[in-house]
């Protein structure tokens, strides 16, 4: 065994949790990604991160919180308390509304559904990033919420590990993978989404066009192996 490492490379495994694979918000065909992701994990990345959607009970993204039907949409706003805490302007909160899909309760802290799926080879080489932890803020991206109020340590950690090339796999392609990939590209990383390791909630395919428009490159596992 050599300890070959490809300098500057990172793997991001996004939200491979029980609720997204077999639980309350199971993504269609999500079980198919386990093997490709485990193969990706074995490649000689310099840095590895796994993100977890990590909601408190009564999270703003749950339909049950609003007494609404699943998959309806509503408008959410940045919580005034956080805007104040971060020294932002509270005058224009009403103009900063965003469309929010209302989900089944999922990935609730302390429940079985929040755990990474059995068989996933996420081990002690990984850093873990938790997101969606504030009750009033949705956070699809593992970098930050849409209002940039609650950045995670991800960007800082990638820089500390001298990462240039970020490769993403996981769930869901049209939500957290897309948002994280676009933020990675915007932060200046060469960003690759590996399709064998991704499935989407609403499987339309346009998420890949949206990512490409932001400079994200879409590759498959064979191409990833060639790069490594
Ligand atoms: C996600 C819906 C709600 C995701 C998280 O991980 O893509 N999707 N929360
Ligand atoms: Zn969520």
What proportion of the chain, given as a percentage, has pLDDT over 70?
A: 98
- For residue range 3-30, list pLDDT tens digits in order: 689 999 999 999 999 999 999 999 999 9
What proportion of the chain, given as a percentage, has pLDDT over 90?
A: 88
Residue nearest to atom 3 of ligand 1 (CA): 103
What is the Å distance from ligand 1's center to 30 Cα?
13
What integer pLDDT is reported at residue 87 of this predicted model?
86
What integer pLDDT is reported at residue 2 of this predicted model?
58
Nearest ligand, measured from the Cα of 51: 1
In this structure, which residues have their CB less than 5 angstroms from ion ligand 2?
53, 132
Tell whether the model's pLDDT for residue 1 goes beyond 80. no
* Structural contact between residues 107 and 52, judged by C-beta atoms closer than 8 angstroms: yes
Q: Give the mean pLDDT of 140-151.
A: 94
What integer pLDDT is reported at residue 141 of this predicted model?
98
Q: How far, in Å, are 25, 148, 165 from residue 2 at the CA level?
A: 40, 41, 22
* Structural contact between residues 90 and 80, judged by C-beta atoms closer than 8 angstroms: yes
177 CA: nearest ligand 1 atom: 7
The strand pairing partners of 11, in sequence order, are 48, 167
Q: Measured between alpha carbons, how far is 178 from 174 in angstroms, rounded to an integer?
A: 6
Tell whether the model's pLDDT for residue 61 goes beyond 60. yes
- For residue range 95-132, list pLDDT tens digits in order: 988 999 999 999 999 999 999 999 999 999 999 999 99
Q: Measured between alpha carbons, how far is 125 from 41 in angstroms, rounded to an integer?
A: 10
- For residue range 74-91, list pLDDT tens digits in order: 999 998 998 998 888 888
The one-character DSSP state at 187 is T
Q: Give the mean pLDDT of 30-44.
A: 98
Tell me the average pLDDT of the chain: 95
CB 189 near ligand 1, within 6 Å:
no
């Amino acid at each position: 065994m050599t300890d070959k490492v490809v300098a500057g490379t990172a793997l991001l495994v996004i939200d491979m949790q029980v609720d997204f694979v077999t639980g309350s918000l199971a993504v269609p065909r999500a079980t198919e990604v386990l093997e490709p992701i485990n193969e990706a994990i074995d490649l000689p990345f310099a840095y590895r991160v796994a993100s977890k959607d990590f909601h408190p009970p009564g999270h703003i993204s749950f339909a049950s919180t609003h007494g609404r039907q699943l998959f309806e949409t509503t408008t959410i706003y940045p919580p005034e308390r956080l805007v104040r805490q971060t020294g932002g302007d509270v005058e224009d909160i009403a103009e900063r509304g965003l469309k929010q899909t209302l989900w089944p309760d999922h990935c609730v802290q302390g429940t079985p559904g929040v755990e990474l799926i059995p068989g996933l080879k996420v081990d002690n080489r990984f850093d873990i990033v938790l997101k969606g932890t504030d009750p009033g803020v949705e956070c699809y991206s593992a970098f930050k919420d849409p209002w940039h109020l609650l950045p995670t340590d991800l960007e800082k950690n990638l820089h500390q590990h001298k990462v240039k090339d970020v490769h993403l796999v996981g769930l869901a392609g049209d939500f957290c993978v897309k948002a994280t990939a676009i933020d990675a590209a915007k932060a200046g990383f060469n960003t690759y989404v590996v399709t064998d390791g991704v499935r989407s909630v609403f499987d339309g395919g346009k998420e890949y066009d949206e990512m490409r428009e932001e400079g994200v490159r879409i590759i498959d596992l064979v191409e990833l192996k060639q790069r490594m």
